[in-house]
Amino acid sequence: MKVGIGADHRGFALKVGIVDFLAHTGHAVTDYGAHSEDSVDYPDIALKCAEDVRDGKTDFGILSCYTGQGMAMTANKVRGIRAAICTTPETAALTRAHNNANVLVIPGTLTWDTQTQSIVTAFLDTPFEGGRHLRRVKIIEEYENKHPSNL
């Protein structure tokens, strides 16, 4: 699987653990930065990651900043992106199964540990259920298509 990953300076430490985990589990990783704890502008990173998910260059995106809010808000500005902040494996699995989320956002306040590894695994391994959930995702897509100036 191809996974794009990005973080600002406050999510950098978490990103390092995720990149290592993804590489060791056989995923192809595209790293959008940050490459240190030096201050960077999170929107630049989030937009590039989200655009590559949208364009099919990566299958999923993973983003991190201190709260996760800035990355999620920015990524969700890209048409076709459904970025979700997840802090438990259960929310990661449900956001994939019910919302067909394609970008996982993890707050940089979390540390890389087995719980965070389980969040990443649940997100990447859980398929979209479709059914009644597909109807709801299509409502979002229809809105995006009818209101392109809102994006």
Question: Each residue's pLDDT tens digit in the chain (151 positions)?
Answer: 999 999 999 999 999 999 999 999 999 999 999 999 999 999 999 999 999 999 999 999 999 999 999 999 999 999 999 999 999 999 999 999 999 999 999 999 998 999 999 999 999 999 999 999 999 999 999 999 898 776 5
Number of other CB atoms surrounding residue 83 within 10 Å: 26
Please give the structure tokens belonging to residue 116: 């965070």
Beta strands in 69-143 (DSSP E): 83-85, 103-105
Is residue 63 within 8 A of residue 75, CB to CB? The reply is yes
Q: Identify the structural domains of the chain with CATH numbers, from first to last.
A: 2-150 (3.40.1400.10)
Catalytic sites, residue numbers = 65, 98
Distance in angstroms (rounded) separating the CA atoms of residues 21 and 25? 6
